[in-house]
Amino acid sequence: MYRKIRSFTINVLLLPFYWISFLIPRKKNIWVFGAWFGHSYMDNSKWLFESVCQREPRIRAIWLTRNREIMNSIRQIGLEAYMINSWKGYWLSCRAGLAVSSCGNTDINRIGISRAQKLQLWHGSPMKKIGKDDKFTQTDPLSILGILRKIWRPFFPFALERWDVVITASEFFKEFMASAFGIRPAKVKVTGYPRNDVLRNSDPPSISFIEDLKKAYNAKNVILYAPTHRQEGRDSFNLINTFDFAFVNKVLSETNSLLLIKMHYYHQGQQDAKPQSNASSRIFWLSKDEIPEINPLLNYTDILITDYSSVYFDYLILDRPVVFAPFDLEDYLAGDREMYDDYRNFTTAGPKCRDWDEVMEKCREILNGNDKYKDERKLAQQKYNSFIDANNCARVIELAKNMVKL
């Protein structure tokens, strides 16, 4: 209750600044960017921001953050960044013609972007329900809190999520995205995600940490385990502890492979999910400091292990094997997220395993040359990614320029 009262008080104090923002003239060539509630420099917003800075000298691209270290690191590479809630952050948001987000309006200064065009890049193609479609994160409109929210929200319009355009990866996802964000399907544009340009880049960025690991173990193959979150990080992730450590390492050794574990953003730093380790282990837990975001890592990955994560749709662009580990499917559907379609109906082009032993056996089969899902994977690639090139950023930039009539 204290948090609700505090939030209400802050909104009351911010309201005059919201109305003032309507009086400030906007410039079409000022674009503000942010991601992950202002706490990270990553994802589609980051890749588009850097692309705009490189390609569009007429556009003043500005990153907004709540983290001073992020602000300083961006400035050190010669780009413009400010704190979201600073006077400069507010002023530039009031002047911006375009506001770009990867999560919600708290990625940026929501008070100042009142009349800006708002572009939602999101952070992945949805297998699980998101936004307004996700009943587990939406407040029951008939509850006391739901009724109070319905009463006070019209008085604080900056607290509402309103998007002029939302992008997606293919026609298949348009209806889902429109429903999730409460907009007409015509406002959902198929461009591909900016972060996926790195998967088709002829000279992708190198990751020295991974290269050093492969050299140290003389490893030929990299297997990546990248599950989605549970309860948006409110619950610990304990599925890793269900595998047989010795057996997993045995398969890794026999196939000359490494297993890298990259947890979802919400579970970064969670210690109790880590498997036991020893000096001869070929299992490595990747911290957010070593690997801040996952997409550049996909270029190094020979097999992806995942569950209900959108990383599967991104990885399809590379046309490499996927093994699915939906061990907790029934519990997940009952208490975490619903799916837009039956999980078994999604074109999940890879084996769906019951436990870690089966996962590792399937990885062994694939690495021994028995890849049974090549044809199905190609169909899935075409279904879920309309563009298999390195021009997603370019398409989104042109879309954004049209939005502000630049």
What confidence tens digit (pLDDT) does each residue in 44-60 have? 999 999 999 999 999 99
Q: What is the pTM of this model?
A: 0.89
Residues in the chain with pLDDT values less than 70? 1-8, 10-11, 136-159, 229-241, 264-280, 345-347
Domains 8-197+390-403 and 202-384 share a fold: yes
Inter-residue contact 169 to 386 (CB < 8 Å) = yes
Furthest C-alpha separation in the chain: 67
- For residue 272, what pLDDT is reported? 46
- For residue 276, what pLDDT is reported? 52
Q: Where are the domains of the chain?
A: 8-197+390-403, 202-384
d(CA 228, CA 266): 9
Inter-residue contact 36 to 121 (CB < 8 Å) = no
Instruction: Tell me which of 3.40.50.1260, 3.40.50.720, 3.40.50.11820, 1.10.10.10 is the CATH number of domain 8-197+390-403.
Output: 3.40.50.11820
d(CA 105, CA 37): 8
What confidence tens digit (pLDDT) does each residue in 22-35 have? 889 999 999 999 99
Inter-residue contact 187 to 163 (CB < 8 Å) = yes
Arch. (CATH architecture) of 202-384 = 3-Layer(aba) Sandwich (3.40)
* 266-271 contacts at long range (C-beta below 8 A, 24 or more positions apart): 266/229, 266/232, 266/233, 267/229, 267/230, 267/233, 267/236, 267/237, 270/233, 270/236, 270/237
